[in-house]
């Protein structure tokens, strides 16, 4: 029986460990926190997962909360005018619903499941020296802990990392009591509110420890009016600042947030990081090689909501590569080809995310505007959250963009719509 060590108990690490376990591998999972510590800790992300990523969980029978989490049936885009108006405001329908499950709930539950199924769980904050020692006992070491010393083993890929500094200041609040959008009270949608030159507010329904809730997520341009959460430690103050900014820049969203309260004292999070692609193979002091997983090697800004989706897709790709490899050694060449398999999807995410962090070119503004006129454009755009590869066909290139809008407009005119 082949022995595999997975370091890090997030979406990718746990999904991969549970998948390997199902395929008969002897898996050790290393986490710096227990399930109870995760469950009682601070929120970790916004984790809106779209159809493909959810299907990877279903394929492994890990969709424990699917019947409880609210179904997200669409994604809406609003653009704020300087006078508090909404010159752009539309919603597109997803082909398959999305869901968000608080990672405190999911990761704690998955970790307990891993142990119950006979997996070896080691609660230990791993350093490079620890891995150097442990690696000799395993056929493969996978590093999915995206922060701390271990990441330093994986060098930055400058060609794939155009930014060397954070492009957004991030601030998250989990709340109860948010009212529905009056325009579409009949279904749940992620709401993407764009404030040109200032940042973005994303609002999405989620399932948390105390049931149904909503996430208020500001992404602020560094140094701008939204970059005010650094050093805020009091959760109540964090929420008050969040709401004040909504009132100032997005009054239509503030109008439905007058009765909100935090889900719990750990329901806020703030921080920033530079989007980075890294070399997938890390070298240990003794010369051994380890393979980086998910955001260890591809860390994108959350502006396109791809973090947990990419983690699930990475875990699925790596699992398939490991199983297909049979009893052959997991050498560096295999590690690089395994990462390349994941990069086939991840490269589209990185390209899109980096594009969205920059001021939008005119043809993208035209596309966002046209989506408000033509529902097929809105629907196609929002389904790119599930499949970012489709953006190559209509988003980046001005000529393709113009041709696509003209095609949809012509079809609408011909049908009399």
Indicate the DSSP class of residue 25.
-
Pairing of strands 169-176, 140-143: unpaired
If you average pLDDT over residues 259-274, what whole number do you get?
97
**pLDDT value at 194 more than 90:** yes
pLDDT at 94: 98
Band of the pLDDT at 184, cuts 50, 70, 90?
Answer: confident
Residue 326: phi, psi to the nearest 5?
Answer: 65, -135
Beta bridge partners of residue 212, listed in sequence order: 207
Band of the pLDDT at 417, cuts 50, 70, 90?
Answer: low
| Residues 331, 139: Cα–Cα separation, whole Å | 10
Longest C-alpha distance within the chain, in Å?
70
Question: Each residue of 206-221: b (16+ CB within 10 Å) or e?
Answer: bbbbeeebbbbbbbbb
Q: What is the secondary structure of 74-88 as a DSSP string?
A: EEEEEE--TTS--SE
If you average pLDDT over residues 231-243, what whole number do you get?
97
**pLDDT value at 102 more than 80:** yes
Residue count (the chain): 417
Reported pTM: 0.96
Which domains are delineated in the chain?
3-43+102-163+275-357 (3.50.50.60), 72-100+168-271 (3.30.9.40), 362-415 (no CATH)
If you average pLDDT over residues 212-228, what whole number do you get?
98
Tens-digit pLDDT profile for residues 335-393 = 999 999 999 999 999 999 999 999 999 999 999 999 999 999 999 999 999 999 999 99
pLDDT at 182: 83
Mind spelling out the 3-state secondary structure of 207-266? EECCEEEEEEEEEECCCCCCCCCCCCCCHHHHHHHHHHHHHHHCHHHHCCCCCCEECCCC
| Residues 174, 176: Cα–Cα separation, whole Å | 7
Tens-digit pLDDT profile for residues 277-328 = 999 999 999 999 999 999 999 999 999 999 999 999 999 999 999 999 999 9
Residue 34: phi, psi to the nearest 5?
Answer: -75, 170
Indicate the DSSP class of residue 274.
-
Three-state SS at 1: coil
Give percent of the chain above pLDDT 90: 91
Tens-digit pLDDT profile for residues 4-18 = 999 999 999 999 999
| Residue whose structure tokens are 């103050």 | 237
pLDDT at 10: 96
**CA atoms lying within 13 Å on the CB side of residue 247:** 8
Three-state SS at 9: coil
| Residues 218, 320: Cα–Cα separation, whole Å | 36
End-to-end CA gap in the chain: 62
Contact 218, 170 (CB under 8 A): yes
């Amino acid at each position: 029986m082949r022995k595999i060590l997975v370091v890090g108990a997030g979406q990718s690490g746990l999904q991969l460990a549970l998948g390997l376990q199902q395929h008969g591998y002897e898996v050790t999972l290393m986490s710096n926190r227990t399930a109870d510590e995760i469950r009682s800790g601070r929120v970790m992300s916004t984790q809106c997962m779209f159809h493909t990523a959810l299907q990877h969980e279903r394929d492994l029978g890990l969709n424990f909360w699917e019947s409880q989490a609210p179904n997200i049936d669409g994604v809406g885009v609003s653009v704020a005018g300087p006078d508090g108006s909404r010159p752009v405001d539309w919603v597109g329908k997803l082909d398959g619903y999305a869901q968000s499950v608080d990672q405190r709930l999911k990761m704690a539950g998955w970790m307990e499941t891993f142990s119950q199924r006979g997996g070896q769980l080691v609660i230990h904050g791993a350093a490079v020296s620890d891995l150097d020692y442990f690696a000799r006992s395993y056929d493969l070491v996978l590093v999915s802990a995206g922060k701390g010393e271990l990441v330093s083993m994986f060098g930055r890929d400058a060609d794939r990392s155009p930014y060397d500094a954070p492009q957004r200041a991030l601030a998250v609040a989990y709340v109860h009591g948010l009212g529905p959008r009056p325009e579409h009270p009949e279904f749940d949608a992620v709401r993407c509110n764009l404030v040109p030159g200032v940042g973005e507010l994303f609002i999405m329904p989620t399932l948390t420890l105390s049931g149904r809730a909503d996430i208020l997520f500001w992404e602020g341009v560094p140094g701008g009016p939204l970059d005010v959460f650094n050093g805020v430690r009091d959760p109540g103050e964090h929420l008050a600042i969040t709401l004040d900014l909504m009132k100032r820049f997005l009054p239509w969203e503030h109008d439905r947030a007058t009765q909100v309260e935090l889900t719990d004292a750990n329901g806020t999070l703030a921080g920033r990081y530079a989007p980075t692609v890294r070399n997938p193979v890390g070298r240990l002091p003794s010369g051994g090689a380890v393979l980086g997983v998910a955001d260890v090697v591809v860390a994108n800004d959350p502006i396109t909501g791809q973090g947990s989706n990419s983690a699930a897709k990475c875990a699925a790709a790596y699992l398939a590569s490991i199983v297909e490899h049979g009893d052959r050694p997991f050498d560096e060449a295999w590690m690089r080809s395994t990462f390349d398999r994941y990069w086939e999807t991840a490269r589209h995410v990185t390209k899109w995310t980096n594009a969205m962090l920059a001021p939008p070119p005119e043809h993208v503004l035209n596309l966002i505007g046209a989506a408000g006129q033509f529902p097929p454009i809105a629907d196609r755009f929002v389904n790119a959250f599930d499949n970012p590869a489709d953006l190559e066909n209509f988003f980046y290139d001005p000529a393709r963009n113009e041709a696509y809008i003209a095609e949809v407009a012509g079809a609408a005119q011909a049908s009399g719509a």
